[in-house]
Chain A
Amino acid sequence: MSTGVNFIVVLVTAIIMVGAALIIGWLLAPKSNNAQKGEPYECGIPTRGTSWMQFKIGYYLFAILFLMFDVETVLLFPWATITKSLGVMGLASVLFFLFVLVLGLAYAWKKGALEWK
């Protein structure tokens, strides 16, 4: 039993579970239709305009910051597994790497990108 196949088995099980439950629900549940039922739920008031619109930019700033640190995490994981054998030199290189990154975070902080306005 290899892990790759096990992963595919688990993934397929998840998909089958959702699909089967949807079909069972669709078979068992009552069905009825009227004009109001299909409207988006907005507390009884008709929707104004579309909901697919421009959105607050603040969220995207955090997404960009996240991207930076997530890539950093990926790059640090190989170091983390062999910290002991790399020794002090490895730690020094990682310190430098983190220093450059933290400079980025400090810049974003100073610029006010971390404030929610």
Chain B
Amino acid sequence: MITFGEIINNVHQGLTDALPAWLAATIEYVIIGAGFLGLYCVLALILILLERKICARFQCRIGPNRVGPWGLFQSVADMVKILLKEIISINNTDKVLFKTAMFLAIAGSFCTFGALQFGDGLACIDFNVGLFYILAISSLGVVGILLAGWSSNNKYTLIGAMRSGAQLISYELSAGIAIMTMVVLAGSLNISDIIAGQSKAWFIFQAPIPALIAFIIYLIAGHAETNRGPFDLPEAESELTAGYHTEYSGIQFGFFYLAEYLNMFIIAGVAATVFLGGWQPFQINAEWAEGFNSVMAYIPSWIWFMGKTFALVLLSLWVRWTFPRLRIDQLLKLEWKILMPISLVNLLIMAGWVLIF
């Protein structure tokens, strides 16, 4: 079977043989950029359609079904529509920060997206502190949201941004400590090493008790970081119209929408990478399971990654459309009095586990 690594090497070889070095490098970088851009936009369209369809089913509706077969082109039509909408400029906004906020929101999610490994050999941003980089760069989104809310000069956006800031920074801690718990087990921050360490058994099976606790904590905290589901106070539409992006119109609003959906995918992707083995197939570490293992290994790596990620995305959608919204005191209590102490204790349990076994 041809792996992605071989394809990349062949393309690299072919380009450097045929063209001068600087031109070959430029073409490679353009391919990287265009590939990520295409994947980012296509995933956003798929996720938006998926969410609308599933939400409709939860509410006993059919969902979009007019544009194309089963409404498949609904989100494409919406994207064209949103591009055609007027961009209204509001009086008294801080113009520079108002525009910067969109760039920060997208840049934060796009750069995190670049660090995910979608298949065997498909590593773009991959270095010795990859996981730390993901944690660091994904918090750029908070700055974008705070700037958006503050620069709009509107009370709804200000309240939305403040709530969002408090929520995102709080839940970042639990998410970070849950990730750190797995780093203790993996012994590395390099994403390639972490995935390679799960070739025999996924981390969630290697240290079942602390890993499972960390997994659940990461899913809750990650879900809260996407500003969705029961944690959607920043844009609680019945109280704050639309929260921090009230004043953004047309495609400007589209960016925040895009970043929100892709963040959901990124959180699921990181969870799949760190806990569920990334693109590694499911393996049973026993003599009798050899046939099963080879069948599992035959399934392409990118299908494994996308399968795991979309399974977690579906879980996130299920949670979003099932639970009622939390109040801000309940939200902060959940983080600081429940998740935070549990994750700290769990970190120590994992350290003990690693030292004993």
Contacts and interface: CB of A to CB of B under 8 A. Distances in A.
Contacts of A88: 355
Given A41-B156, A105-B340, A25 B251 contact: yes
B3 to A, nearest CB: 17
B64 interface: no
B67 interface: no
Contact of A116 (B12, B114, B250, B329): B329
A87 B125 contact: no
Contact of A115 (B177, B329, B348): B329
From A73, A91, A95, name the one whose CB has the most chain B CB atoms within 10 angstroms.
A73
Interface in B301-357: 328-329, 332-333, 336-337, 340-341, 344, 347-348, 351-352, 354-355
Interface in B154-193: 154-158, 162, 165-166, 169-170, 172-173, 176-177, 180, 183-184, 187-189
A65 interface: yes
Contacts, number: 196
Interface residue range, chain B:
35 or more
Given A22-B252, A81-B187, A91-B352, A38 B89 contact: yes
Interface in B225-259: 241, 246-247, 250-252, 254-255
Contact of B153 (A40, A56, A70): A40
A6 B90 contact: no
B36 interface: yes
B86 interface: yes
Given A10-B124, A24-B83, A29-B250, A81 B189 contact: yes
Closest 3 CB pairs of A and B: A116-B329, A14-B110, A25-B251
Interface of B: 12, 28-29, 32-34, 36-37, 40, 83-92, 99, 102-103, 106-107, 110-111, 113-114, 124-127, 132, 150, 152-158, 162, 165-166, 169-170, 172-173, 176-177, 180, 183-184, 187-189, 241, 246-247, 250-252, 254-255, 328-329, 332-333, 336-337, 340-341, 344, 347-348, 351-352, 354-355
26 contacts: A10-B32, A13-B110, A14-B106, A17-B40, A18-B255, A21-B251, A22-B87, A25-B87, A28-B83, A28-B84, A29-B86, A37-B88, A38-B91, A40-B154, A41-B154, A42-B155, A43-B241, A62-B336, A66-B169, A70-B176, A73-B177, A98-B348, A102-B344, A114-B337, A115-B329, A116-B332
